[in-house]
Amino acid sequence: MNKLMTTGFALALTSLLAACGNSGTNNAAATNGAGTNSASATETASSGAPTELVVSTWGFSEDFFKEAVYAPFEKEHNVKIVVEIGNNAERLNKIRQGSSDVDVVYLSDYYAQQAINEGLFETIDHSKIPNIDKIYDIAKAPLGEEYGPAYTVGRLGIAYNPALVDGEVGSWADMWSKFDKNLALPAITATAGPMIVDAASLVSGGTEFNEDGAFTKLKELDSNVVKYYSQTSEYVNMFGQEEIAGGPIMEMYFKDLQAAVPDAKFVAPSEGAYAVMNTVNVVKGSDNKELAEEFINWQLSQEVQEKSAKAKVDSPVNTEVVLTDEEAVGVTYGAEVISKLRKLDMSFVNEHISVWTDRFNREIGG
């Protein structure tokens, strides 16, 4: 069994990404420790004033989240949601430094694992989040039973322009044979970077993760790589201008590629596409823990999940969401699709990412 994949999947890797952080001095410090998780909320509610819930997120699809996610919750619970926006690293660092009053934080599983390792999250009470029982198993406890779920699971596969490659692309191994100096790969430090290391290990042969084998294959592939991209926009622009024929990318961005190249294709490689999971957690020291858990439960509800999927904002994890074939285009959807995903072990990744990054920069560059 490959050490990089989790045991829940026939093709899954064991734990790859770990460690996010917080000093535990956010809301609790700001209030000198006054109140329990629900006490301040109860006092505020009794005064008639809305409770303030601070949510840390990326900032994409802001209008959608305001209308479909935040506003109904605010009305139902007499809450005012305050949003802090930034990328994973920026927002995690604010929590680490105690310079944020965040209650609820959205993070990719890679950064969320870092936070867990650093003791920056509250453990959650599953009884307060009953909708967890209605989501796919892969999403229920991606980083441990005590922590938050993945509210969306996307997949990393291969997109390509059929006019610029040698035949059909159907496997990770095809990146080594069907692209001729027109391939884009995620940078080693990007969210998908470790997934490409694992894919290279797969192509090198064997069922166990093999670091030397992976880097040998990556070196072989390097001459065909036009760009190691850190921003998806780089990939999209190069694809539209035919500077690249394709490469690994998240399915949710395929619609942008197809808008530029109508004949573009997206494939889940035969060895398995990779699960890309975004999690939602309660930050250590929050004075509104129970309210935060209610918010997570709302995020997992069929209503929110279905609206998100139909708007092409997030792929759904709630098993009760039903989409038409048209609505499911570009969305990671359905039990069959989810069951075939490869899931990296984020703890393993975080333990090794520094070594991999140094080795990549030394042996391959970019």
What per-residue confidence (pLDDT) applies to 330?
87
The rounded percent of the chain whose pLDDT value lies above 90 is 82
CATH number of 154-274+347-363: 3.40.190.10
Q: Where are the domains of the chain?
A: 27-153+277-331, 154-274+347-363
351 pLDDT tier (thresholds 50, 70, 90): very high
Element at 142 (helix H, strand E): none
Q: What is the largest CA-CA distance in the chain?
A: 68
> Pick from 15, 17, 361: which is nearest to 188 by CA?
361
- Amino acid letter, 363: E
Q: Across residues 57-69, what is the average pLDDT?
A: 95
Residue 38 tokens read as 């629900």
Residue 350 has pLDDT above 60, yes or no: yes
Matching fold, domains 27-153+277-331 and 154-274+347-363: yes
Question: Could you tell me if 278 and 109 are in contact, meaning their C-beta atoms sit under 8 angstroms apart?
Answer: yes
What per-residue confidence (pLDDT) applies to 47?
55
Q: Write the CB contacts of 180 (distance below 8 Å, at least 6 apart in sequence).
A: 166, 224
User: In this structure, what DSSP letter does residue 50 have?
Assistant: P
Question: Could you tell me if 169 and 160 are in contact, meaning their C-beta atoms sit under 8 angstroms apart?
Answer: yes
Q: Write the CB contacts of 54 (distance below 8 Å, at least 6 apart in sequence).
A: 27, 81, 82, 83, 84, 100, 101, 102, 103, 104
What per-residue confidence (pLDDT) applies to 161?
98
Specify the length of the chain in residues.
Answer: 366
Residue 3 has pLDDT above 90, yes or no: no
Least confident span in 39-48, 212-221, 289-298: 39-48
> Pick from 344, 270, 350, 275: which is nearest to 13 by CA?
344
Residue 13 has pLDDT above 50, yes or no: no
Choose between 41 and 289: higher pLDDT.
289
Distance (Å, rounded) from C-alpha 118 to C-alpha 365?
A: 30
Residue 321 has pLDDT above 50, yes or no: yes
pTM of the full structure: 0.82
Q: Across residues 279-307, what is the average pLDDT?
A: 98
Angle of the 193-204 helix axis to the 211-221 helix axis, nearest 10: 100
Q: How confident is the model over 18-59, as pLDDT tens digits? A: 333 333 334 433 333 333 344 444 444 445 899 999 999 999
Strand-pair category, 246-250 with 150-160: antiparallel
Least confident span in 46-50, 121-125, 179-183, 357-361: 46-50
Q: Across residues 309-334, what is the average pLDDT?
A: 95
Element at 139 (helix H, strand E): helix 137-140
Q: How confident is the model over 133-190, as pLDDT tens digits? A: 999 999 999 999 999 999 999 999 999 999 999 999 999 999 999 999 999 999 998 8
Alpha carbon of residue 360 to chain centroid: 23
Q: What is the mean pLDDT of the chain?
A: 88
The dihedral formed by the CA atoms of 155, 124, 190 and 273, expressed in degrees to the nearest 10:
-20
What per-residue confidence (pLDDT) applies to 43?
46
Q: Across residues 193-206, what is the average pLDDT?
A: 95
Residue 11 has pLDDT above 50, yes or no: no
Residue 221 has pLDDT above 80, yes or no: yes
For the ranges 13-17, 98-102, 180-184, 189-193, the one whose mean pLDDT is highest: 180-184
**CATH homologous superfamily for 27-153+277-331?**
Periplasmic binding protein-like II (3.40.190.10)
